[in-house]
Structure 1
Amino acid sequence: MANKTEPKKPEPKFELLPKIVNGGIAGIVGVSVVFPLDLVKTRLQNQTIGPKGEKQYKSMLDCFKKTYAAEGYFGMYRGSAVNILLITPEKAIKLAANDFFRHHLTMRDGSLPAIRQMLAGGLAGACQIIITTPMELLKIQMQDAGRVAAQAKAEGRTIPRVTAMELTRKLMKERGIFGLYKGVTATAGRDVPFSVIYFPMFGTLNNMGPREPGQANPPFWWSFMSGCLAGSTAALMVNPLDVVKTRMQTLTKGSGERQYSSILDCITTTLKYEGPRAFFKGGACRMIVIAPLFGIAQTVYYLGIAERLLGYR
């Protein structure tokens, strides 16, 4: 009697549209919550130590106080419009691309070895820089404008404020579309390693979460905690690269602040004048920014809001 072969299970279908929508929603919610912390992080990373050891900001709290006193509540959200506008495609690309590559790199037995998880994360990080680079370039100018203006005011000078649209037009006029991609190598040097570390770590932590019978994903609070822990860990590990990227993309410098001709020049000059600790400036602040940003983003992403709105199962 011939053995009956069991029917082959259909392969799970990868739906790209809801993942893109989820990524966009996740990015908007996350950025809206943590933007003031990101502004402080940018200003701390950009300030240099004077010849007598003087600093514009003594600490993260001091930067908060001085920014709020000089620019008010909405000053803490300077550059947020650009970020919220571009974070939608940026997070959509990052999160959806990671899922896309994980889906196609999964072995036939359903397993996904760590090296393939890292490859999927790295490819996702490489895909996002097409949006991340101009977004970060414009955001950094808006965020750092208050610090440079305060320094100029103390010296009796005035620096006119420039809007994101005016800056975009100026860069496009002077350098074409490539003007918006200043620091693209440094951005890739930060985002690819970040994604290589973050996504496998998040996936591992998330898979360890408790599940009810028949439930595909762990509870939302577990995804949130997994995103926080993986995000803060990856952020700390790539913070030196983030400092280099921030300084390379800062176009308007304060008086006496150094200009850098290349990534190597930025690294060697910073080491020479400020020492290794300079590469961890804003590190604690960046961890505080990234932890809730990715915790919120992963929670929104895994709640599957877009699937419900678009009628997917």
Structure 2
Amino acid sequence: MSKPATDIPIPFSVSFMAGAVAGISEILTMYPLDVVKTRVQLQDNTAKGVDRYNGMVDCFRKIIKNEGFSRLYRGIAAPIMMEAPKRATKFAANDEWGKIWRNVFGQEKMTQGLSVLTGASAGATESFVVVPFELVKIRLQDKASKYTGMADVVKHIVKTDGVLGMYTGLESTLWRHIAWNAGYFGIIHQVKGALPKAESKKGAMVNDLIAGSIGGTVGTILNTPFDVVKSRIQNTVKVPGVTPKYNWTVPAVATVAREEGFGALYKGFVPKVLRLGPGGGILLVVFTAVIDTWKKTQVTA
């Protein structure tokens, strides 16, 4: 008798592979929005004239006009290399932490609270994987960047700050990923429970797209302030004997709000949510499709 596909346990390696495929699919589709988001976030009150971006559309226009269309894909090698381990870690860690927390709290199935806790735990785990890649990406995306490529960034950072310099911004990255994943996986659980049960494969895909997109939007609302200061922290070149203006997350958030207004903590929000809202849906749809395909190969007569 064949074993129902829904009852087949998913190994860590399969979750990891599915997350990797989902991540690469999302980054190839949405990367230009990430470049624009970073540019807007790095901009402070000193930017003037052609260096001043008045929103997402203006930033797109000026990059293409002044630097060429290809600049929208500047630094994509780092995130492509990052997306496989990053998204793979996200989904695989979420599955593994889900098992751990269900055992700790004696729950057979996930609840809303466990989904938030599991997502936060997965986000913290993911942070340790992504920091070096994020650091390289931010340095390359900056308009003032003089680096010739990924290897040049790594060489410069290691030379000036040592190997641990590749983990500049770890603390702010932890805040960013904990907030996003808690919101993303928590909302997915809630939305899926509220949606009508899918009666077909297409219906299930639509439900995943809706839940993932809403989850991505909520996660983005929660983590954008941390993302803004993370970009500032990672783009700061350390000077011996000088304390960086942007150093730790909470003081940096307070500094940006005080000097530029609360709204500055949501700089780059529009391109970010346009990427991670639909991007969250793409992630969930592709991840689920890969898992379902694997399950079909495991069903035996």
Name the counterpart of 1:225: 210
Greater share of helix residues, 1 or 2?
2
Q: Indicate the SS of the match to 1:110.
A: coil
Task: Give TM-score scaled by structure 2 length.
Answer: 0.85
- Greater displacement, 294-303 / 100-109: 100-109
Please report how far the alpha carbon of residue 204 of structure 1 lies from its aligned counterpart in structure 2 after TM superposition: 2.0
- Greater displacement, 192-201 / 105-114: 105-114
Name the counterpart of 1:277: 263
Q: Which of 30, 33, 39 pairs up with 1:34? A: 30
Q: Within the alignment, does 1:205 sit opposite 2:205 as a pair? A: no
Write the distance in 2 (CA, Å) between the matches of 1:14 and 1:308. 9
Name the counterpart of 2:120: 122
8 Å Cα contact 2:225/2:253 also seen in 1: no
Write the distance in 1 (CA, Å) between the matches of 2:37 and 2:84. 21
Larger CA Rg, structure 1 vs 2? 1
CA RMSD of superposed structures (Å): 2.7
Please report how far the alpha carbon of residue 217 of structure 1 lies from its aligned counterpart in structure 2 after TM superposition: 10
8 Å Cα contact 2:198/2:207 also seen in 1: no
Please report how far the alpha carbon of residue 311 of structure 1 lies from its aligned counterpart in structure 2 after TM superposition: 3.3
8 Å Cα contact 1:38/1:286 also seen in 2: yes
Name the counterpart of 1:246: 231
8 Å Cα contact 2:172/2:248 also seen in 1: no
Name the counterpart of 1:181: 167
8 Å Cα contact 1:141/1:251 also seen in 2: no
8 Å Cα contact 2:211/2:281 also seen in 1: yes
Please report how far the alpha carbon of residue 60 of structure 1 lies from its aligned counterpart in structure 2 after TM superposition: 0.7
Please report how far the alpha carbon of residue 162 of structure 1 lies from its aligned counterpart in structure 2 after TM superposition: 2.9
Q: Indicate the SS of the match to 2:46.
A: coil
Unaligned runs of 5+ in 2: 1-6, 239-243
- Measured at CA, do residues 80 and 309 of structure 1 come closer, stay the same or move farther in structure 2, by a change above 3 Å? farther
Q: Indicate the SS of the match to 1:186.
A: helix
Write the distance in 1 (CA, Å) between the matches of 2:203 and 2:163. 43
Q: How does 1:66-145 map to 2 (within 5 A)?
A: 66-106=62-102, 110-144=108-142
8 Å Cα contact 2:112/2:189 also seen in 1: no
Write the distance in 2 (CA, Å) between the matches of 1:306 and 1:216. 10
- Measured at CA, do residues 187 and 28 of structure 1 come closer, stay the same or move farther in structure 2, by a change above 3 Å? same
Please report how far the alpha carbon of residue 104 of structure 1 lies from its aligned counterpart in structure 2 after TM superposition: 3.5
- Measured at CA, do residues 266 and 303 of structure 1 come closer, stay the same or move farther in structure 2, by a change above 3 Å? same
Name the counterpart of 1:17: 13
Name the counterpart of 1:193: 179
Please report how far the alpha carbon of residue 218 of structure 1 lies from its aligned counterpart in structure 2 after TM superposition: 5.5
One-letter code aligned to 1:62: D
The total of aligned residue pairs comes to 286
Name the counterpart of 1:166: 152
Please report how far the alpha carbon of residue 109 of structure 1 lies from its aligned counterpart in structure 2 after TM superposition: 6.2
Q: Deviations over 1:106-138 (max 9, x none)?
A: 366633232222221111011101122111111
Unaligned runs of 5+ in 1: 1-10, 150-159
Divergent runs of 4+, >4 A: 51-55, 215-218
8 Å Cα contact 1:126/1:191 also seen in 2: yes
8 Å Cα contact 1:27/1:91 also seen in 2: yes
8 Å Cα contact 1:41/1:286 also seen in 2: yes
Q: Which of 148, 152, 170 pairs up with 2:144? A: 148
Q: Within the alignment, does 1:57 sit opposite 2:53 as a pair? A: yes
- Measured at CA, do residues 226 and 201 of structure 1 come closer, stay the same or move farther in structure 2, by a change above 3 Å? same
8 Å Cα contact 1:236/1:286 also seen in 2: no
Please report how far the alpha carbon of residue 174 of structure 1 lies from its aligned counterpart in structure 2 after TM superposition: 2.8
One-letter code aligned to 1:95: F
One-letter code aligned to 2:272: R
8 Å Cα contact 1:18/1:307 also seen in 2: no
- Measured at CA, do residues 73 and 54 of structure 1 come closer, stay the same or move farther in structure 2, by a change above 3 Å? closer
Please report how far the alpha carbon of residue 306 of structure 1 lies from its aligned counterpart in structure 2 after TM superposition: 7.7
